[in-house]
C-alpha cells in the first residue's frame, strides 16, 4: 500500500474540487492505496494536509485549475494535473503519480571515486549555478530548484538557481553569476537553451533526478567536461534536421489565468449581490435614495463598494497568476480604471492580462546589480507596469472597450423577444456543452461580468441552464432505471441535489459514460431553459446559489416563471434521454 496526499482546487472550490477529491479517494482505495486529500477554492482550504501526512507520503498529486503553492512538498515526487483529468482519468493519474516516485531513469553517473571533492577549507569558494524547468512550469520546476539549493548549502557551496516556471523566469542568472560559476546544472524536462554556458562544466539531467539525489547531481556537474560551442549548436541543428526535441512550456495558458482571477472575484460578487438583493427586499427599487436606512446602508456596502471592487479584484489576480506579486498593483489599478472609465468587466480582463504579461516581460528585460535587485518587485516593476497599463487604459484600450460594452448593454436592455430567445438558447446551451469546462466557464464569466453593468437577465439564463443537466439526468435515472447502470442510478439522487445547487458538474459521471447521447440531450434542455428565462424577462442579481436563491427576497424576479423555465428544460432533457438512451441488457 502506498500513501498519497493530494490537493484539489477549482475557481469556485465546489464542484470540480470535491468531485476530484472523491474520485481520488475512491479509486485510490480500490487500488489498495491510502489517499488523503485537501480541497481548496473560494471558501478557503479544507482538510488541510498536516506536515506529518506530507512527510509520510510516497507521492503528491496536485489536481488544480488555479494556482497552487507547491513549496510545502519540497523533496516529494509531485504529479500535477487538471481537476478534469483527476475526475475522468483517476486511475491513470494515480499510476502516473506513483511512477514519479520511482528512481529516475538516468545514465549511471561517474563512480564516486572519480568525482573530486574539494577540501573543506576550499568549499566556500565553489560556486554552482543552475536552471530548472518542466512542461507545466509549476511543481517540478520549483521543487528541483529547492532540492539543488538545499544540497549545495549542505555541501558548503555558493548556489544560484534560475527557475523557468509558469510565471516566467525567476532568479535569472546574470552574466556575472555564470562567469564566477565552477559548474552548471540544468535539471529540466523541457527545452532549455544552454548556449550561454559555453566553457563551463555542464551536467544536464531531469527534474526527477534533482529531486531524488541533488547532491549527486551537483557532484557530477563538478566533474563534467566544459561545454563547447559545437555542442551549443546541436539544438538548432536538430531543429533544422526535423528531429524532435522538447520545447519549453509557455505555462498554464490564458484560461487558467482567467480562472484564477474569477476564483478570487467570486466571493466579492456573491457578497455584493446578496447584499443588493437584501437591500431591495427591505426598501424597494428606490432604496438607494432612502439615506440613513438599513436598506440604504446595505446598498452602499453591496452596490457602491463590493460591486465596484470586483473588477479590480478580477484584473489584479489575473495579473497575479501571470506575474505573481509584482503583477497585483498594475492589475488592481488597471481594473479600477476599467471600472471607472466604463470599460466594465471586458476592460478588467484586458487590464489583467496586459498587466501580467507586461510585468513578466519587464522582469526579464530589466537587469540590475545584485544589490539593487530587491527594488524590482516593490518599486520598479509595479511603478512602470502601473504607468504603462494606466495610460493604455485611459487613452487606448478604455474608450473602444467602453463603446463595445455600452453597445452590448444597450442591445441586451432593448432586445426583442426573438433576440432574447436566440441569446438565451446560446447561453443555456453553452452551460451544458462541457459541464464545467472552458465553454461553460466562458458563458458563466460573461453572465457574472454583466452584473456590474446592471444587466441581470443573462445571469439568470446562465444559472438556469447550468442547473438543468444534473437535475434532468438524476430524474431520468430515477424514472427510467433500465436505461442507466446501477452506478448511475445510485448517483441520481446526488446529481439532483447538485443540480438544485447550480453545480453542473453533477452531470459529468453520466456524460463520461455515454457522451454521444447524454451531452446533446443536456444541451437541448439547457438551451430551452435559457431561452425561456430570457423570454420571460427573469433577472438574477447574484451569480450562484441555485434554487436556494429563490428563497431570498428580491434576488430573482418572476420567480414562478423562472421555476417553470427550469422545469420545462429539465423535462425536455428527460424526454430526450428516454428516446436516445437504450435499455441496458440484464446479465443472465
**Residue 487: closest CA among 84, 38, 23, 35:** 23
For the chain, the C-alpha Rg in angstroms (whole number) is: 27
- Residue 35 to residue 287: CA distance in whole angstroms: 52
Q: Is 521 a catalytic residue?
A: no
Q: Considering the candidates 49, 134, 346, 496, report the single residue annotated as catalytic.
A: 134
**Residue 386: exposure state from Cβ atoms within 10 A (0-12, 13-18, ≥19):** buried
Whether residue 322 contacts residue 381, with contact meaning beta carbons closer than 8 Å, is answered with no
Distance CA 215, CA 212 (A): 9
SS3 (DSSP) at 32: coil
Strand ordering across the sheet containing 78-81 = 34-40, 3-9, 59-64, 78-81
CA atoms within 13 A of residue 248's CA, in its CB half-sphere? 19
Q: Which residues share a beta bridge with 184?
A: 129, 202
3-state secondary structure 29-84: HHCCCEEEEEEECCCCCECCCCHHHHHHCCEEEEEECCCCCCHHHCCCCEEEECHH
End-to-end CA distance of the chain: 36
Which is it for the CA torsion 521, 525, 526, 530, positive or negative? Answer: positive
Cα–Cα–Cα angle for 571, 507, 97, rounded to 5 degrees:
175
Query: Which cell goes with 22?
Result: 472523491
Q: Which residues contact 139 (CB under 8 A, 6 or more apart)?
A: 60, 62, 70, 73, 78, 79, 80
> What residues are labeled active site?
134
Amino acid at each position: 500500500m502506498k500513501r498519497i496526499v493530494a490537493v484539489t482546487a477549482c475557481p469556485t472550490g465546489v464542484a470540480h474540487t470535491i468531485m476530484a477529491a472523491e474520485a481520488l479517494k475512491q479509486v485510490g482505495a480500490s487500488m489498495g492505496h491510502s489517499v488523503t486529500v485537501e480541497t481548496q477554492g473560494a471558501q478557503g482550504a479544507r482538510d488541510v494536509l498536516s506536515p506529518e501526512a506530507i512527510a509520510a507520503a510516497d507521492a503528491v498529486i496536485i489536481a488544480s485549475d488555479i494556482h497552487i503553492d507547491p513549496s510545502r512538498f519540497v523533496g516529494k515526487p509531485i504529479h500535477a494535473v487538471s481537476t478534469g483529468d483527476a475526475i475522468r482519468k483517476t486511475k491513470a493519474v494515480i499510476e502516473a503519480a506513483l511512477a514519479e516516485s520511482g528512481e529516475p531513469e538516468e545514465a549511471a553517473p561517474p563512480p564516486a571515486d572519480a568525482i573530486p571533492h574539494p577540501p573543506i577549507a576550499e568549499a566556500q569558494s565553489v560556486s554552482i549555478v543552475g536552471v530548472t524547468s518542466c512542461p507545466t512550469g509549476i511543481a517540478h520546476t520549483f521543487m528541483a530548484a529547492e532540492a539543488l539549493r538545499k544540497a549545495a548549502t549542505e555541501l558548503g557551496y555558493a548556489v544560484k538557481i534560475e527557475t523557468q516556471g509558469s510565471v516566467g523566469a525567476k532568479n535569472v542568472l546574470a552574466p556575472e553569476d555564470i562567469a564566477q560559476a565552477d559548474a552548471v546544472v540544468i535539471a529540466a524536462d523541457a527545452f532549455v537553451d544552454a548556449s550561454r554556458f559555453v566553457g563551463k562544466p555542464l551536467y544536464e539531467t531531469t527534474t526527477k533526478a534533482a529531486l531524488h539525489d541533488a547532491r549527486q547531481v551537483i557532484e557530477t556537474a563538478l566533474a563534467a567536461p566544459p561545454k563547447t560551442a559545437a555542442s551549443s549548436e546541436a539544438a538548432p541543428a536538430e531543429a533544422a534536421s526535423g528531429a524532435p526535441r522538447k520545447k519549453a512550456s509557455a505555462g498554464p495558458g490564458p484560461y487558467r489565468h482567467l480562472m484564477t482571477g474569477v476564483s478570487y472575484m467570486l466571493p466579492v460578487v456573491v457578497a455584493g449581490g446578496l447584499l443588493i438583493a437584501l437591500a431591495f427586499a427591505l426598501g424597494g427599487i428606490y432604496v438607494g435614495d432612502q439615506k440613513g436606512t438599513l436598506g440604504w446602508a446595505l446598498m452602499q456596502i453591496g452596490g457602491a463598494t463590493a460591486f465596484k471592487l470586483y473588477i479590480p479584484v478580477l484584473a489584479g489576480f489575473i495579473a497575479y497568476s501571470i506575474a505573481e506579486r509584482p503583477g497585483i498593483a498594475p492589475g488592481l489599478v488597471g481594473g479600477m480604471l476599467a471600472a471607472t472609465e466604463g470599460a466594465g468587466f471586458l476592460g478588467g480582463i484586458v487590464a489583467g492580462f496586459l498587466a501580467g504579461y507586461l510585468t513578466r516581460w519587464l522582469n526579464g528585460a530589466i537587469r540590475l546589480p545584485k544589490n539593487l535587485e530587491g527594488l524590482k518587485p516593490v518599486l520598479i516593476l509595479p511603478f512602470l507596469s502601473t504607468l504603462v497599463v494606466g495610460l493604455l487604459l485611459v487613452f487606448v484600450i478604455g474608450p473602444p472597450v467602453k463603446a463595445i460594452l455600452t453597445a452590448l448593454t444597450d442591445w441586451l436592455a432593448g432586445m426583442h423577444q426573438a433576440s432574447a430567445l436566440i441569446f438565451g438558447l446560446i447561453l443555456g446551451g453553452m452551460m451544458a456543452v462541457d459541464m464545467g469546462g472552458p465553454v461553460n466557464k466562458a458563458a458563466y464569466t460573461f453572465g457574472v461580468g454583466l452584473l456590474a453593468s446592471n444587466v441581470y437577465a443573462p445571469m439568470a439564463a446562465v444559472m438556469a441552464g447550468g442547473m438543468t443537466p444534473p437535475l434532468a439526468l438524476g430524474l431520468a435515472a430515477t424514472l427510467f432505471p433500465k436505461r442507466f447502470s446501477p452506478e448511475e442510478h445510485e448517483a441520481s439522487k446526488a446529481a439532483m441535489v447538485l443540480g438544485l445547487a447550480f453545480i453542473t458538474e453533477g452531470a459529468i459521471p453520466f456524460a463520461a459514460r455515454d457522451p454521444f447521447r447524454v451531452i446533446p440531450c443536456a444541451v437541448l434542455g439547457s438551451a430551452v431553459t435559457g431561452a425561456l428565462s430570457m423570454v420571460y424577462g427573469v433577472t438574477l442579481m447574484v451569480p450562484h446559489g441555485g434554487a436556494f436563491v429563490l428563497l431570498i427576497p428580491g434576488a430573482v424576479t418572476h420567480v414562478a416563471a423562472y421555476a417553470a423555465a427550469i422545469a420545462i428544460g429539465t423535462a425536455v432533457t428527460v424526454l430526450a434521454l428516454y428516446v436516445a438512451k437504450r435499455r441496458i441488457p440484464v446479465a443472465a
